[in-house]
Amino acid sequence: MLYPAYVHIGDGKHAHGVSFPDFPGCFSAADTWQDLPRAVQEAVEAHFAGGEEQIPEPTRLEDLAGDPDYAGGAWMLFDIDLSRINARAVRLNISLPERLVQRIDAEAGRRKLSRSAFLALAAEHEMSTT
């Protein structure tokens, strides 16, 4: 998902600094422009590592552009892979055929995963192929 980030442009002695209006307290930095996307993804993953905070929807750039707190840098949109963020787990009650549950449990055990972890991986995989 595309999130706005404010880049404080670096120079020969300072890295490019990044702040995220949608993730207060989350900051990142990189020495080169090419390294920014990876650094940004890592910073957001670390910011939400506890899994207790909800991930907000991105703020529109139009709503941020005139903010006087952001001056002297550049706005950029970064594609944050939210599937890599450990968000708070939600308990579900679903019904599946008994034989399917047995097969899921066997495969999850073979991979040393819990049933929930296996089903989450399977769902992510299925959604990424469409």
Residue 130 has pLDDT above 80, yes or no: no
What is the model's pLDDT at position 117? 81
Residue 18 forms beta bridges with which residues?
Answer: 7, 28
Identify the domain containing residue 113 by its residue range.
98-128
- Verify that 45 and 102 share a domain, yes or no: no
- Verify that 78 and 102 share a domain, yes or no: no
Domain count, the chain: 2
Separation of alpha carbons 118 and 103, rounded Å: 11
Separation of alpha carbons 94 and 91, rounded Å: 10
**pLDDT for 82-107, tens place per residue?**
888 866 677 889 999 999 999 999 99
Query: Alpha carbon of 60 to those of 54, 63, 67, 75: distances in Å?
Result: 18, 5, 12, 11
Q: How long a stretch of residues is the chain?
A: 130
Residue 52 has pLDDT above 70, yes or no: no
- Verify that 13 and 69 share a domain, yes or no: yes
CATH code of residue 74: 3.30.160.250
- Verify that 109 and 59 share a domain, yes or no: no
93 domain-assigned: no
Instruction: Read off the pLDDT band of 65 (50, 70, 90).
Output: confident
What predicted TM-score, i.e. pTM, was given to this entire model?
0.65
**pLDDT for 6-32, tens place per residue?**
999 999 899 999 999 999 999 999 999
- Verify that 62 and 122 share a domain, yes or no: no
